[in-house]
Every structure is written in C-alpha cells, then in structure tokens.
A and B are shown apart, each in its own frame.
Chain A
C-alpha cells in the first residue's frame, strides 16, 4: 500500500507553484520544501527494504504513526538524497524507544531538538560533514537529514509550533541538528564501536539537546586545563541539572587529551567529578531540590565521584557522551545540554541500515 489515492495532490507542473502549494497546506518549516512528487518518493523508498506501510515510530499520546512511506515523503521535502534515508529511519527507530520520550522533548517549553550523531563509515559513504563548520551550513546530508526529522515531527506527529510544540524560545537546531562523528585522526574508538555494534556497522545516536554552547580554550595545555573549561560550562547555574550531556571535542582539544594518554572514560570521569556547583549556590539561585540531590547522593544512587555538598551535572560519568568533531584549527569545542531540567529524555542509538536481533 505505497499510496492512498485520496492522499495524493494534483498540482501543476510549475515547481514554484508546487512549492507554494506546500506552503499553503502548512507542510513546511518556514523554508521552501522540495515538492514530494510520487517519483521522488519512490526513489527514496528504494533505500528501505521493508514495505512502505511499516511503522517506524508511534506517538504515544495521540497514536499518530510514522510509516516508512510517511518518512520518505518528508525526507524528499527536506531535500534528502535517497541514500540518506537509512539514517532517518534509524533515527526515528531510536526516538521511538520509550526512554527518549519524543513527545515530551518536542512539546515542552524547554525547547530542545533531537541532535543526531552519525558514527561509523556510513557517514563518509553518504558524504556527511564531520569536519570544519560541523554544526554549520554547507553540507547537504547534515542539513537535510536533520531537517527531515523536524518535518516528520511537524507533519506526521503534528508537533506544531505554538500549538503542540510549546517551546518558550526553541533554538536554531530545531531547523536541523545533525552531525557526524569525525573518524579521521580520531585516537579514540568511534561511538558505534563503544556502543557494541558489529564491526563495520554504523550508528545514529539521538539526544534531546538544548542550545549549543561554544567552549573556547586556546591556552590550556593539559587535559585538566582543557576539561576544566568544559566542566565549568556544563555546571553553569543556567544549565546544571540531572540531565545527560553531549560534548563534542574539537581536534585541537582532543590532541591535548590524547597526547596525555587520556581515554574517553577518563575524560567522562573527570568531567563528572568537576562539573558541579555547591548546594548553597544552588539554593541561592532557587534551583536546589532535596529529591534531586538525593538521587546523586542517596544510598541507592550514591556515585563515588559525587562529593558531599556538591550538586553535579547528571547522575554519573556515563551520562556524558564525548566524541570528536570539527576542523583541525581552533580551540573551539561544544557542550550541548539535555532538554530542560532532568531525565525526561535519555539518549538512544540504533544501527543504520541493518537489523540486529530483529524478529
């Protein structure tokens, strides 16, 4: 059942008129879309082996269902090439995990956007950018895969800005928020390897991320100096919560860590131990809650690195996702905080283009 005749729209052959038609239907994110012609959608579907009616994600509150076909239509509109489609499908399968809670993270005043991190050879295969201007414009795959996520949230799941998406301010990543992990010159195992996928299998990790925070440090020459700046940013009073973190190390900063022999685990441990604010300070800004402090320090939740009187970011070192990305030059890394105040959404990952342990 690839097409339902009642759900096809006859428009003229003028592409600009077709774009205007899409605007009139309320199908866009504010930017022009590629008209989703039947032929283009068919080509997109050619990169997914399952029938078009196969559901890949379901909205828990409304029951709206994103099928392979619906995802393909929106991927065309976003400007995706067909070979990008497996990333989009895997991303929604990850977002469909209950722990991600894509309804909450999309509807909330917190204003997050799903950050997609593609790890492994698939990123190079489809020409994704993991290098200079990582989060910026200029790469079709990064830009359009991220954009397709938003179009699906809006068109399929009806997460409409101002109606069911109540972000107080949102952030620019709500147009597109998709990057690749840099493998070139990376001294650490790639995320897809650490996530336990078989050799050669790429992954996409989804993270409900708040706004991007640049971390500048051109003077630090030791891991402690470099990561000290990260920890301070991660624990600032505006950002600190029990939520998870994504940290994207610029190659220049990575060279300092790797040069000193630091592993990803060491960096996670150090960041968790250093990213804290005093309880008195939390009280001074009105953000202290006994129940949250207890989750870090109570008997069940006691984490050795969580110091007495210290409110840390997250529940432990594993809550900090660290990867390398960006251009060779510049001591500019980034920290992306989790959505809103806590653990309402937890990052998830899925393999791209393959099925592991599927029924």
Chain B
C-alpha cells in the first residue's frame, strides 16, 4: 500500500537572525505592547532596567490591536527606523 504524506514541506524562507547589537549603552528601546492585561506595565518595568543599567532611552510605545496576530508591517518598519532594539511580551 502506498500512503500519501499528510504533512507539507516547510516554506522556503530566509529566517536568519538580525545581527546582534555591539552594546547596549545609550541605545534607544522600542516597546511593542499587544493589548493584554499588564503588558504595558511589564514592558515599562523591563525598559526601566535598561534605562538604569545602560543609560538607554525609551521611544514612544507601539501597540498592536490583536495579541495573537503579527504586528502590522508598517508598525515594525516605523519602529525599525527609530529604535535600536524592541521589547515585546505577553504580560498575562
């Protein structure tokens, strides 16, 4: 008996990581909140650690309306132009 495979091959995508930052000192942090309860609090607390330890500054908050859907491309592109690194997370 010949069986068909019910799975599909993975898509051919370039998923390489972005180059790591050379350092954190004085960098600009982006925060992307996802609308979940406590998300903003968690992100701001986390950013405060970077501010205190590395002299980072925090850019205005970015938001997305659906926690489980990818952020709109324009949001990510806008953030990429203004920040050195981005923090996101759930907050539940």
Contact = CB atoms under 8 A, between A and B. Distances in A.
A133 B67 CA distance: 36
B6 A151 contact: yes
A151 B7 CA distance: 10
A73 B66 CA distance: 32
Contact of A36 (B3, B67, B69): B3
A22 B7 CA distance: 12
A8 B4 contact: yes
Contacts of A3: 4
Interface in A3-34: 3, 7-13, 18, 21-22, 27
B45 interface: no
16 contacts: A8-B3, A9-B4, A10-B1, A10-B2, A11-B1, A12-B1, A22-B3, A35-B1, A36-B3, A64-B8, A64-B11, A65-B8, A70-B7, A74-B6, A101-B69, A155-B6
A297 interface: no
A3 B5 CA distance: 9
B6 A38 contact: no
Contacts of B67: 104, 344
Interface of B: 1-11, 13, 37, 66-70
A35 B4 CA distance: 9
Interface of A: 3, 7-13, 18, 21-22, 27, 35-38, 41, 60-67, 69-70, 73-74, 76-77, 98, 101, 103-105, 107-108, 151, 155-156, 158, 289, 343-344
Contacts of A289: 37
A-side interface mostly: mixed
B68 A73 contact: no
A61 B69 CA distance: 8
Nearest to B66: A344
Contacts, number: 90
Contact of B4 (A7, A64, A66, A105): A7
Contacts of A76: 4
Contact of A107 (B8, B13, B37, B68): B68
The 5 nearest A-B residue pairs measured at CB:
A104-B68, A63-B11, A7-B5, A155-B6, A9-B3
A74 B3 CA distance: 11
B43 to A, nearest CB: 16
Given A8-B5, A41-B4, 9 more contacts: A8-B2, A8-B4, A9-B3, A36-B3, A66-B8, A98-B69, A101-B66, A103-B69, A104-B69
A65 B11 contact: yes
Contact of B69 (A8, A37, A73, A344): A344
Given A101-B69, A344-B66, A11 B3 contact: yes
Most A Cβ at <10 Å: residue of B4, B9, B10 = B4
Nearest to A60: B70
Given A66-B8, A70-B8, A61 B70 contact: yes
A108 B7 CA distance: 22
B2 A64 contact: no
B59 to A, nearest CB: 22
Given A101-B68, A104-B69, A105-B68, A73 B37 contact: no
A104 B66 contact: yes
A156 B4 contact: no
B56 to A, nearest CB: 28
Contacts of A13: 1
Given A107-B68, A108-B68, A73 B11 contact: no
B68 A344 contact: yes
A73 B6 contact: yes
Contacts of A60: 69-70
A21 B7 CA distance: 14
A73 B5 CA distance: 7
A156 B6 CA distance: 7
A21 B1 CA distance: 12
A18 B8 CA distance: 20
Most B Cβ at <10 Å: residue of A18, A22, A67, A344 = A344
A74 B6 CA distance: 6
A340 to B, nearest CB: 9
A73 B8 CA distance: 11
